[in-house]
Amino acid sequence: MPLTLQRVTVTFDERCDGRLSDNSHQRAANALRSAGAVILEGAVDRAHLNVLKTKMDQAWTQQRTPIGGYTLGFNYVDGHLQQDPPDDPDCIFRDIVDNPFVERIVHDLAGKDARLAVYTGNTNSPGTAAQPLHSDSGKALTELEVTRLVTNIPLVNVTPKNGAIELWLGTHDADVCDKARRELVGANSIWPMIAPRAIDENPGIAVRANTKLGDVLIRDQRLWHRGMPNTSEEPRHMLALVHGAEDFCKQKGVRKMPFYGACMAGFAGSFKAT
C-alpha cells in the first residue's frame, strides 16, 4: 500500500485526560514508524499558539532591514529563517514544550530517556523560493533506528499558499538514508542536502503537510523534507522541537535552554533533569 501522511484527531475527552486512547496512540506511532511522519490534529491549545504568534510576528518585523533582507540566520535560502520562540516564562506552555501525546509517542519510538533537547522555530517569510531537499542531520542519516524526532507546530493554518513543508515519506528508511549519505552534497555539513542522484533513486512520496492551527506534525529526523515558497503576504511561523536520547541532549546542552531554569520546577516530563 502506498505511504500516506496519516492524521489522528485528538478528541475532546483525550484532551481533558491528557492521554490518547491506546488505539489512537498506536495508529499515530505506527504511521510515524512506517511513513516517517504523522499529524496529531487538535493537540495544542490555539490560544497558546496565538500568544506566540503575536510575539514572533513582532520579532520578525523588528529584525527586517530596510532593504528587505533579514538579520536572522537563514537556512539554505533567503527568508527561511531560524527564529526561536520567546524565552519569556509567560510564553512557555506545557502543551507545547511538554505535550503528553507527543511525549508518549517519543518514548515509544525513541526510547524512555528521550526528551526535549531543542526548542526553536522556522519562519517562512513571504516571497521565499523552495529550499533544497535535505535531512535535518547528517548524523541521523547513519542511524538504523529512530533516535530523534522533530515536532513541528505551526502558529497559523498552513496550506501550500503559505509554504506548507514538503515531506518525502519513506525516506527515513535506513537503506535509503545510507545510500543518500554516501553522496551527500556538502558531506561535512551537519545539515546535508540530498544529492540529485539519490533523489532520482529514492522511492519516497512527496506530500505537503497542510495543517490547521492546533495541529502538530511529528517526523523522524532522518526524513527528507524542504521548506516551500510562501506566496502569501504573512510570515508562517512553525515551532520546531527536537526530542532525543541522553547523549543528544548533552550534546545540545539541554540545560542551557533559556527557559529551562524558569520552567523546570513546574514540569514533570521532558524537562526533568537526570
Ligand X SMILES: O=C(O)CCC(=O)C(=O)O
Q: What is the binding site for ligand X (CB under 6 A)?
A: 75, 80, 122, 124, 131, 163, 165, 225, 227, 238
User: Please, are residues 49 and 212 in contact by the beta-carbon 8 Å criterion?
Assistant: no
**Closest to 194 measured CA to CA, from 208, 181, 205:** 181
Q: Closer CB to ligand X, residue 135 or residue 270?
A: 135
CB of 136 to ligand X, least distance (A): 6
Question: Which string of DSSP letters, residue by residue, matches 68-101?
Answer: S-BSS-BSSSTTEEE-PPP--GGG--HHHHT-HH
**Residue 225 or 243 with smaller CB distance to ligand X:** 225
Please give the Cα distance from 49 to 153 (Å, whole number).
9
Q: Measured from the CB atom, is 117 or 238 closer to ligand X?
A: 238
**DSSP readout, 6-21?**
EEEEPPHHHHHHTS--
Tell me the Ramachandran region of residue 214: left when phi exceeds 0, alpha when psi lies from -120 to 50, beta otherwise. left
Residue with smaller CB distance to ligand X, 210 or 270: 210
User: Closest CB to ligand X among 131 and 211?
Assistant: 131
In angstroms and rounded to an integer, the radius of gyration of the C-alpha atoms of the chain is 18
